[in-house]
Amino acid sequence: MGLEYLRTITFILVIATLVQMVEIVLKKVSPQMYQALGVFLPLITTNCAVLGVAILALGIPDSTLLKAMVFAFSNALGFGLAIIIFSSIREQLELIDVPKGMQGVPISLLVAGLLSMAFMGFAGMV
């Protein structure tokens, strides 16, 4: 059907959903284990980004090991840059007066959308 471009998004959604289900089950079945895992359980979701890069690297036309490694390294740098920028913006948001209706998730989603539009400017550079 020509929907190959949805493969990575579907993969990420499946992993994120499974991690959330495991989190909910752990919270109900074993609260001690849930607290012991703490922040590390949601971090499992970020592993899907690593696997997503591997899947995308396989789709490079005329792929060689060097091309795949450069692609993966570039993706890691880009992801790291995005995370650093997003965390610094969130830190700044803690210091300013944000309207009550925009505090928390709404302002984070707005910032994420603006940041994604900023990074779209890098599309097609290579």
Q: Pick out the chain residues at pLDDT < 70.
A: 39-46, 126
- Comparing C-alpha atoms, which of 124, 126, 43 is closest to residue 83? 43
Place of tokens 């550079």: 125
67 lies in the same domain as 125? yes
pLDDT score for 46: 67
Q: Which domain holds residue 46?
A: 1-59
Do residues 69 and 44 share a domain?
no
Residue 75 near residue 53, CB atoms below 8 Å: yes
pLDDT (tens digit, 9 = 90+) per residue, 40-54? 666 666 677 777 777
Q: Tally the domains of the chain.
A: 2
Q: What are 106-115's pLDDT values in tens digits?
A: 888 898 899 8
Which pLDDT belongs to residue 51? 73
Same domain, 35 and 19: yes
